Amino acid sequence: MVDQNSIVVQEFLLESFENLAGISEELTRFEKRPDDKELLNSIYRKVHTLKGSASFLGLQKLQAVAHAAENVLDLVRESKCQIHENLTDTFLKSFDACLDILKSIESTGEEGNQNFEYLIKEFEKYLHGDIEIEVPTLLQDDIVESLKEFDIPQTKIDSTPKKVESVEVAPVLSKTKGDEHVHHPKKVEAPVVESSEEGDSSSAKVGAIADSVVRVNVKLLDKIMNVVGELVLNRNQILQFANNEDASELTRLAQQLNIITTELQTDIMTTRMQPVGSVFSKFERIVRDLSRSQRKRIKLNISGKETELDKTLLEAIRDPLTHLVRNAIDHGIEAPAAREGNGKKEEGTISIKAYHEGGQVTIEISDDGNGIDPEKILNKAVSKGLVSAEKASSMSKRQILNMIFLPGFSTAEQVTNISGRGVGMDVVKSNIEKIGGSVDIHSIVGEGTSFKLKIPLTLAIVPALVVQSKEETFAIPQINLMELVRLEGEDSAEKIEKLHDSEFYRLRGELIPIFRLSEHLLLENEGEELQDGDKATNIAILSAEGRVYGLIVDTILDTEEIVVKPLSRKLKDLSIYGGATIMGDGRVALIIDALGFLNHVDKGHGHKTEQHFNEQELAKSALETDEILLCSLGDRREYGVPLCLVSRLEEFDRDQVEWSGDQAIIRYRERPMPLLNLEKTMNLRGKSTLESDDPERNISCIVVFLRNALFGLCVEEIRDIAINESAVSSQNIDREGILGTVFINEKTVTVLDVHKVVDMQKIGHNYKSAKEVVRNKGRILLVDDSVLYQRIQSEHLKDIGYEVDVVSNGREALDRLNKGNGKYDIVLTDIEMPEIDGWELVQKVRGLSSEKSKIPIIGLSGSMKSKDLDEGQRVGFNFMLDKMNQSSLDETVASLLSES
């Protein structure tokens, strides 16, 4: 028996638990890569350390099991024994036994009553079996003696004369690099232990480790986090008080407190962050064991182990992830014979990937198995009475797939010990949503299923938008906030459209439902105030599980970091709130739960936009639009810049401008940025704002990012952002730098060709023009009837290294593909076009008899609907994307080309 509360034993337990936590994963990886000597040595070192530590502490059962495993590992290292499934099973069982012993020691100080003689006998077969090897007699005697009574005197362990070994002792808390733990070990001499009385030398060794690493109890970290949360609240109150007082010293001290608090908050949160690899590594064993029990061949791919999450969230996602992996093995991956019959490899693949995206951690679990049949789900749901036949006929594929998250829902033909009882998927969803995350599912029948989990980085302190309605304050987590819209002027009320007693707002050509916060929370009816046109309308555009809607509020105050406090148990059934927080003035503000609020107020608005529009509304909503930033130059005429090219709008003091020869330059984001004189470059009438004689006049500037550099377009005035619904006319253009003209608000607007303007500048700057870019990533055919989009997208793709050909409709695209030189790696096509549109184009290409029928095709639209996604998969598109989401398009193109 040992004192489990002693420092030495606690250090031993922490080190041993950490070593065994990763050893199963390493062993299963070594089974797949038996030539990886470094991996084998890592396993051996951990077992050797465990054996030595157990021997020193007199833990005889643990020492015997570890000693036996170490001896057989030594045979494998010397190539006298080959690793195989049965041997791997024995190793895994022995490591599980070691864990059981350690847990018993941790709780009682004893090694427990379990008998692990059978394990050591298994190992003994490899020492005395058919493999002829020389094993020291003393070593065998020690093992046999251990088998009898597990009573091994400490003075006899490893008592043969040996050279003193140099043992690597690594800190328990270590950073990660890639998939492996990166330790900073100390070399310490490990003396041969002659008797149990020499415990003082080991204490000194443990002390050296303790000096390099401080282990902190998680409960203490939680307590510190709560204290920091209170400090943040106090900081917010002091900042608000300082802003209302005319005292410079108070303001200075408040700002200093703000800086210190923010830094402390960041550091404390960092201590709670742990790599997701600690959870992912467990799945190597799960996949191996379950696939063998089901006689399936499954390969597990894991990436992004180094991605970090708050420890509390890491524990919360462990069970949901395990359930998804087990489901992929049981339901997803087919048996080898079935896979072979479907033209697949016998070995299935499960992939787990973690990465940062949009201030969150995204975890994807995907398989290349059966996929989920929407028709099968729908039939099951109707038969169980979960949905009516009428409603089922109008549901989209996404809505049907999400029905697997309903409590008690299952499509399994039979109940197994893994799944089939209808319990689990609803828990997966609810557990992820409890921590502020979301679950999205994508599946193709016969090809596989992918679950995408979005997890916040931490729970305790979150950035939020603070708003007011009827003098009540609310907080909206920024994780759900997409953008803010402010409607002003007499016609602001007319921009809100009413259909079937519901309100909608047309955001870049697509109608989204909007709700009035004060009305639905029964604060007061604000409808009459908004009808007079004197009051601006503020709309917060929110996203919840991919569903976008607007929330009308009275006032938008500010963004703040808020401390999330749980609601009272009496209020737990209010799904519209995700908690509460204390504001700077000491008042309590409720936190709006974006999904809970939508589920509470939505009465089918999302479906009405698809089901109940008349033909005129449908035609209007299908019309693609372009957003144009309107400005004026020195000639006082109206010009436009495509908004998708604009990074920021800035106003610079004239004394900030520097000159390099005739080129104006300003320091922007710690780099020199050229300021372009558009009047001079394009030979326009009038004088540029750069040449103004007024030293007090600031310079209005449109910052654009292209050709892999930032440029500032100096303009006379930035006027507005407008929606253009007409085609760009390229007729009657009298100079370079002009893309064409459009009619906006009954005025002619000249659209600038910003790429051409930049190329016309002879700037000695670190950027490459379109002609200088080495285009070797692939050849793309871009099909679009919009001159504006053709220019912007083709130039962007050229900038990042692709060769691009442009055509205006599907007929021209087919001509290009059928020509001898029509060899393209990918086709990007708009959906709505004259002559042959995108829908007809993809069907004609898939009907070709040549290899060109297999070319990847991406469908693009400015107003993508869920029904478009379903239809796109049916007719043969590889992907359907929003043409305004440039980052998603770039990633998809790169992914498709890398696969091909």
CATH code, 232 = 1.10.287
pLDDT at 152 over 80: no
Considering the domain architecture, whether residues 545 and 659 belong to the same structural domain is answered as: no
The reported pLDDT for the residue numbered 366 is 93
pLDDT at 180 over 60: no
Question: What are the pLDDT digits (tens) for 536-547?
Answer: 889 999 987 667
- Tokens 């979005």 sit on residue: 454
Assigned token pair, 59: 């833990």
Considering the domain architecture, whether residues 491 and 638 belong to the same structural domain is answered as: no
Domain final residue, candidates 406, 435, 456: 456
Query: Which segments within 399-536 are labelled E, that is strand?
Result: 438-444, 448-456, 461-469, 472-477, 481-487, 496-499, 502-507, 510-516
Residue 691 lies in a domain: yes
pLDDT at 501 over 80: no
Poorest-pLDDT segment among 143-157, 302-316, 443-457, 583-597: 143-157
The reported pLDDT for the residue numbered 264 is 84
Residue, of 397 and 715, whose pLDDT is higher:
715
Question: How many beta carbons lie within 10 A of that of residue 316, not counting itself?
Answer: 18
Residue, of 191 and 408, whose pLDDT is higher:
408
Poorest-pLDDT segment among 233-237, 682-686, 709-713: 233-237
- Span 288-316, mean pLDDT? 87
pLDDT at 721 over 70: yes
Confidence of residue 196 (pLDDT cuts 50, 70, 90): very low
Q: What is the residue range of 258's domain?
A: 218-272
Considering the domain architecture, whether residues 304 and 337 belong to the same structural domain is answered as: yes
Considering the domain architecture, whether residues 107 and 133 belong to the same structural domain is answered as: yes
Considering the domain architecture, whether residues 164 and 238 belong to the same structural domain is answered as: no
Residue 172 lies in a domain: yes
Question: What are the pLDDT digits (tens) for 640-697?
Answer: 998 878 888 888 888 889 988 888 999 887 788 999 999 988 888 888 888 888 878 8
Residue 470 lies in a domain: no
**CATH number of the domain encompassing residue 818:** 3.40.50.2300
What is the C-alpha to C-alpha distance for residues 288 and 45, in angstroms, rounded to an integer?
24
3-state secondary structure of 143: helix
Residue 449 lies in a domain: yes
Considering the domain architecture, whether residues 714 and 746 belong to the same structural domain is answered as: yes
Considering the domain architecture, whether residues 81 and 179 belong to the same structural domain is answered as: yes
Poorest-pLDDT segment among 150-154, 329-333, 817-821: 150-154
Residue 285 lies in a domain: yes
Question: What are the pLDDT digits (tens) for 854-874?
Answer: 899 999 887 666 667 778 888
**CATH number of the domain encompassing residue 29:** 1.20.120.160
Residue 476 lies in a domain: no
3-state secondary structure of 581: strand
What is the C-alpha to C-alpha distance for residues 404 and 417, in angstroms, rounded to an integer?
19
**CATH number of the domain encompassing residue 431:** 3.30.565.10
Domain final residue, candidates 574, 606, 638: 606
**CATH number of the domain encompassing residue 723:** 2.40.50.180
- In the 8-state DSSP scheme, what is residue 491? T
Considering the domain architecture, whether residues 267 and 286 belong to the same structural domain is answered as: no
Domain final residue, candidates 410, 438, 456: 456
Residue 436's contacts (CB-CB under 8 Å, 6 or more residues apart) are 455, 456, 459, 462, 477, 479, 578
Considering the domain architecture, whether residues 268 and 281 belong to the same structural domain is answered as: no
Residue 765 lies in a domain: no
Question: What are the pLDDT digits (tens) for 442-469?
Answer: 898 888 999 999 887 766 677 889 999 8
The reported pLDDT for the residue numbered 424 is 62
Considering the domain architecture, whether residues 111 and 192 belong to the same structural domain is answered as: yes
Question: How many beta carbons lie within 10 A of that of residue 324, not counting itself?
Answer: 25
Q: What percent of the chain has pLDDT over 70?
A: 79
Longest dimension (CA), the chain: 103
Q: What percent of the chain has pLDDT over 90?
A: 11
Considering the domain architecture, whether residues 421 and 490 belong to the same structural domain is answered as: no
- Tokens 């991605």 sit on residue: 307
Residue 471 lies in a domain: no
Q: How many domains does the chain have?
A: 6
Considering the domain architecture, whether residues 573 and 644 belong to the same structural domain is answered as: no
pLDDT at 770 over 50: no
- Span 483-502, mean pLDDT? 76
pLDDT at 248 over 80: yes
Q: What is the DSSP track for 241-266?
A: HHHHS--HHHHHHHHHHHHHHHHHHH
What is the C-alpha to C-alpha distance for residues 49 and 37, in angstroms, rounded to an integer?
18
Residues of the chain by 3-state class (helix, strand, coil), percent to 5: 40, 25, 30
The reported pLDDT for the residue numbered 413 is 54
Confidence of residue 500 (pLDDT cuts 50, 70, 90): low
Assigned token pair, 148: 């009898």
What is the average pLDDT score of the chain?
Answer: 77
pLDDT at 71 over 50: yes
Report whether 467 contacts 556 (CB < 8 A). Answer: yes
Confidence of residue 576 (pLDDT cuts 50, 70, 90): confident
* Residue 820 identity (one-letter amino acid): G
Give pTM, 2 decimals.
0.47
Residue, of 159 and 520, whose pLDDT is higher:
520
